[in-house]
Structure 1
């Protein structure tokens, strides 16, 4: 079996918990996508059009800096990329993460957490940012998804 990575961004801890459960259930390495500047509660206030997250998501070219990259990304055959749904898509920091690595020949599997919003066209956005990779549609999970549910879902892309 080839190496598998679960990389995730979590603003509130919900996606982090789900990502850890996924990584444990499939025996994958785990990598947290951390912003150089941590998001505060005020930054995450989606009702405030001037909050950091609102400004970033309104600008499709926004690329918030990440604190570190994955060493030797090419060692992985499959990378699961987890995130909370922001404005019906992946947060801009995910775009930074994708563009910061060469995913050529790697299968990218997006997964998301949300109270109700779907994952939307995140996979299409990610595919545009990762030429030479294969990006599948992915799935949104409830925060309480079981390890068995995650393992069963994830197994279809592990080579």
Structure 2
């Protein structure tokens, strides 16, 4: 089985877990980057008009990513890692998924969070992936190993 782990990370937390999981699985790894970099002010959830607040509040928002996405045609399994922003994946995750052909792939997703559960994010991920894919909020290596075992990756 050939595995690709794609992730989006702004603080390094998601990146650290993505790298740990990719190393454990022998997976290829790809970092999703935004075309227009987020500033600290863009990510300030205390400011109602911050960029991230506006994007997360708009279901149609599709922030652009930087560069080319990987060719996923040769992968059997794809894992998508992301932080949770306001209980949801950042909208850039939707942009990326909509631009990939994931049909026939075994999919899973994980998130990092400062306090949100994965319930709301899981609902959205299932909608945009067009079928259920196991997901979970992960905090550390033990969580990651337990989750990978549970989903048979």
Establish whether TM, by shorter chain, passes 0.5: yes
Tell me if the contact between 2:30 and 2:70 (Cα under 8 Å) persists in the aligned partners.
Answer: no
Distance change in 2, residues 1:149/1:124 (3 Å): closer
Inter-partner Cα distance in structure 1 for 2:51 and 2:86: 13
Q: Which residue does the alignment assign to 2:135?
A: 138
Deviation at 1:54, TM superposition (A): 0.3
Runs of 4+ in structure 1 deviating by more than 4 angstroms, as ranges, are none
Q: Which residue does the alignment assign to 1:38?
A: 37
3-state SS, counterpart of residue 80 of structure 1 = strand
Matches for 1:1-159 after TM superposition, within 5 Å? 2-131=1-130, 134-142=131-139, 145-146=140-141, 149-155=143-149, 156-158=151-153
Unaligned runs of 5+ in 1: none
Deviation at 1:149, TM superposition (A): 4.4
Deviation at 1:108, TM superposition (A): 1.8
RMSD: 1.6
Tell me if the contact between 2:84 and 2:121 (Cα under 8 Å) persists in the aligned partners.
Answer: no
Deviation at 1:135, TM superposition (A): 3.4
Inter-partner Cα distance in structure 1 for 2:67 and 2:127: 22
Unaligned runs of 5+ in 2: none
Distance change in 2, residues 1:108/1:123 (3 Å): farther
Instruction: Give the number of the structure with larger relative contact order, counting CA–CA contacts within 8 Å between residues 6 or more apart.
Output: 1
Q: After superposition, give the CA deviation of every residue in 1:47-76 in whole Å (9 maximum; x if it has no partner).
A: 111100000001001000001343321211
Deviation at 1:11, TM superposition (A): 1.0
Deviates more, 1:32-41 or 1:118-127: 118-127
Give the TM-score normalised by structure 2. Answer: 0.91
